[in-house]
Amino acid sequence: MNLKLNANKLKAIDVHVHLEPQASGTEAGEAAKKYFGDSGAARDAKSLADYYRSRNMACVVFTVDERLSGVPRVSNDEVVQFAADNPDVAIAFASIDPTRGPEAIKEARRLVSSGMVHGLKLHPPLQQFFPNDPIAYPLYEVFAEAKLPVLFHTGHSGIGTGMPGGGGIRLKYGNPMHIDDVAVDFPSLPIIMAHPSFPWQDEAISVCLHKPTVYIDLSGWSPKYFSPTLVQYANTLLKNKVLFGSDYPLLTPDRWIADFEKIAIRDEVRPLILRENAIRLFGLNGGES
């Protein structure tokens, strides 16, 4: 990756940040606020950049290409522009709904060829597909060819929780075991399973343990709610494959890290989760050899 981040100066790398407009006023946005609580985080681009810069952090930033929730979204090009304007703190990922067919592949190739996109964010429950559905494979091929990671939402969806019918969101699409097929069929593709994968945490740990290219990000949950099994594996067999993610603006790094400091993660593992594993995954300067 041709990134301008100086990892030597960073205290942490947040691999899960949403660039999005204010979602209040939409049913899904209000339900998410009720589920996550009001983080108080600003949603405009300048405030986001200022937040991470002031904390000496970098972030992977993206939108979600979906039409199910009714929540307004920014475009991939806006995400790219944000990263171009803030190269010291931002890494841009695209988000492309694989059910869009040839149009999705065309957009993926355009964004990847620009050199400004460094991965792909997918949200199967919102985009309504199983990760191992062949409809998504042409999209994976674009990113596998470029050796860029694909980040999948896994587990429960905070979006839609409490709404009638869960806002139409089907949780089955978030089962991480479907990602195992993707790891088999694209053995060189870096994969990040986003979030503690409730109620399939053991499945996610198994896939991550078994497939060398698969990682877990810890976003979307306060660390105080992590299962003992997740903490156990993060401390041991998966200590080089677990990544810090917040889910900003729904959950801020300030809150996440404050709670992270209170759980039983070994001192020598904390820097791996907060920055070193991401440095290695993204090929940034400043990582341990």
Residue with tokens 């990892």: 7
Q: How far apart are CA 120 and CA 112, in angstroms?
A: 10
pLDDT at 28: 62
Q: Residue 100's closest CA among 65, 151, 59? A: 65
pLDDT at 169: 95
Residue with tokens 């099994």: 229
The tens place of each residue's pLDDT in the chain, 289 residues long, gives 457 788 888 999 999 999 987 555 566 666 666 656 665 778 889 999 999 999 999 999 999 999 998 888 899 999 999 999 999 999 999 999 999 999 999 999 999 999 999 999 999 999 999 999 999 999 999 999 999 999 999 999 988 999 999 999 999 999 999 999 999 999 999 999 999 999 999 999 999 999 999 999 999 999 999 999 999 999 999 999 999 999 999 999 999 999 999 999 999 999 999 999 999 999 997 544 3
pLDDT at 24: 52
Neighbouring-strand partners of residue 152: 122, 193
Interior/surface letters 172-200, b for 16+ CB within 10 angstroms, e for the rest: ebbbbbbbbebbeebeebbbbbbbbbbeb
SS (H, E, C) the chain: CCCCCCHHHCCEEEEEEECCCCCCCCHHHHHHHHHHCCCCCCCCHHHHHHHHHHCCEEEEEECCCCCCCCCCCCCHHHHHHHHHHCCCCEEECEECCHHHCHHHHHHHHHHHHCCCCCCEEECHHHHCCCCCCHHHHHHHHHHHHCCCCEEEECCCCCCCCCCHHHHHCCHHHHCCHHHHHHHHHCCCCCEEEECCCCCCHHHHHHHHHHCCCEEEECCCCCHHHCCHHHHHHHHCCCCCCEECCCCECCCCHHHHHHHHCCCCCCCCCHHHHHHHHHHHHHCCCCCCC
pLDDT at 287: 43
Q: How far apart are CA 64 and CA 181, in angstroms?
A: 23
* Domain coordinates in residue numbering, the chain: 7-282
Taking the domain 7-282, which CATH number applies? 3.20.20.140
